[in-house]
């Protein structure tokens, strides 16, 4: 039986207390749902000397409108993202993704903050947040700072969250004419993706004014398809345009062969799923 290395445990009672403990104790880690961190600890891929449990910080658990943005607290559970009428109205790709993330046990405990901070290339919500051009709020002893999603993941399992800092919120701007979708292929229900694509488009006057596309599980990090996004801007949506974007997705992803499939298969999936996500996102934008 695999077990983690020894560690100390602390249950935080305030955000500032958790931040102070992070600064005081070297190699400490935040834990909420634990469905990503604990398996890594059992495999000794992560060996924090102290776990700081933030489950009591319920002021970080919300989905709400704040002016022209939707704000999501970092402690918000997957099941809350799935059931949110506000997100379903403005960004339905969240529901698309949550329906294919893990199982009810994980969805009831896992959090959006934990998912993003794990920085796993096969994780769905990182692609979702990248596609809708989200920003994340990072809080430390000296205050808060915001980081766009395309600058948040620095590499595999590495983020812009520094020592003594905690990701506290995700913000997404509400814009008219938007539609979004998430498409995924997996070996069995709730499994990690073989490949997945998130897409968002904003349409005005029959023309795509902006677009966001991101891929999961086909590279060492979430793949932002900036070249495909640029292709879409200023163009009327069409099947030919989506075919071109799908071709770019196949070219620009960087899959690694593993038990889920060879490189050529994953490149093919990236293209197909990008086209599907763009079709669905466009239909939603025009509905």
pLDDT digits 0-9 by tens, 52-85: 999 999 999 999 999 999 999 999 999 999 999 9
Q: Which of 6-20, 31-45, 99-113, 136-150 has the lowest mean pLDDT?
A: 31-45
pLDDT-wise least confident of 5-9, 22-26, 40-44, 224-228: 40-44
- Mean pLDDT, residues 105-124 taken together: 92
pLDDT at 213 over 90: yes
Express as a percent the part of the chain with pLDDT over 90.
86
pLDDT over 60 (residue 1): no
- Position 187 scores a pLDDT of 87
pLDDT tier, 192 (very low <50, low <70, confident <90, very high otherwise):
confident
Give the residue extent of every domain in the chain.
8-51, 61-173, 193-286
220, 131 contact by CB (below 8 A): no
Question: Residue 281: which residues within 8 A CB-CB, separation 6 or more?
Answer: 93, 179, 180, 181, 199, 200, 201
**DSSP conformation letters of 53-109:** E-TT-GGG--EEEETTEEEEETT-BHHHHHH-HHHHHH-THHHHHHTTSS-HHHHHH
Contacts of 228 (CB under 8 A, 6+ apart): 211, 213, 244, 245, 248, 249, 252, 274
Specify the pTM. Answer: 0.95
Rounded Cα–Cα distance for residues 119 and 158 (Å) = 6
Could you tell me the pLDDT band of residue 43, with boundaries at 50, 70 and 90? confident
Exposed/middle/buried for residue 265 (C-beta within 10 Å: 0-12, 13-18, 19+): middle
Q: Out of 103-117, 198-212, 231-245, which region has the weakest mean confidence (pLDDT)?
A: 103-117
Between CA 15 and CA 65 the distance in angstroms is 22
Protein fold of 8-51: 3.30.43
Q: Does domain 61-173 have CATH number 3.30.465.10?
A: yes
Question: Which pLDDT score is estimated for 181?
Answer: 98
Q: Look over the chain and give the mean of its residue pLDDT values, rounded to a whole number.
A: 95
CATH class of the domain whose range is 193-286: alpha beta
């Amino acid at each position: 039986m695999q077990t983690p290395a020894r560690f100390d445990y602390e249950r935080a009672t305030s955000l500032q207390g958790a931040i102070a403990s992070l600064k005081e104790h070297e190699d400490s880690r935040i834990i909420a749902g634990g469905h990503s961190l604990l398996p890594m600890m059992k495999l000794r891929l992560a060996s924090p000397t102290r776990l700081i449990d933030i489950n009591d910080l319920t002021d970080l658990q919300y989905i709400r409108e704040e002016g022209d943005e939707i704000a999501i607290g970092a402690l918000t559970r997957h099941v809350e993202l799935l059931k949110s009428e506000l997100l379903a109205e403005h960004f339905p790709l969240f529901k698309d993704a949550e329906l294919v993330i893990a199982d009810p046990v994980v969805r009831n405990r896992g959090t959006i903050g934990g998912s993003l901070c794990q920085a796993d290339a096969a994780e769905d919500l990182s692609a979702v947040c990248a596609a809708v051009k989200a920003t994340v709020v990072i809080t430390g002893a000296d205050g808060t700072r915001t980081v766009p999603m395309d600058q948040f993941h620095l590499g595999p399992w590495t983020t812009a969250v520094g020592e003594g800092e905690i990701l506290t919120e995700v913000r997404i701007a509400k814009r008219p004419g938007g539609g979004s979708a998430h498409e995924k292929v997996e070996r069995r229900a709730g499994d990690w993706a073989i490949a997945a694509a998130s897409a968002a488009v904003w349409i005005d006057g029959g023309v795509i004014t902006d677009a966001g596309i991101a891929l999961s599980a086909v590279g060492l990090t979430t793949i932002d398809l900036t070249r495909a996004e640029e292709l879409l801007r200023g163009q009327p949506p069409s099947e030919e345009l989506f075919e071109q974007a799908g071709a770019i997705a196949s070219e620009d992803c960087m899959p690694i062969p593993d038990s889920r499939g060879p490189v050529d298969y994953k490149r093919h999936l990236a293209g197909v799923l990008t086209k599907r996500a763009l079709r669905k996102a466009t239909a939603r934008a025009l509905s």
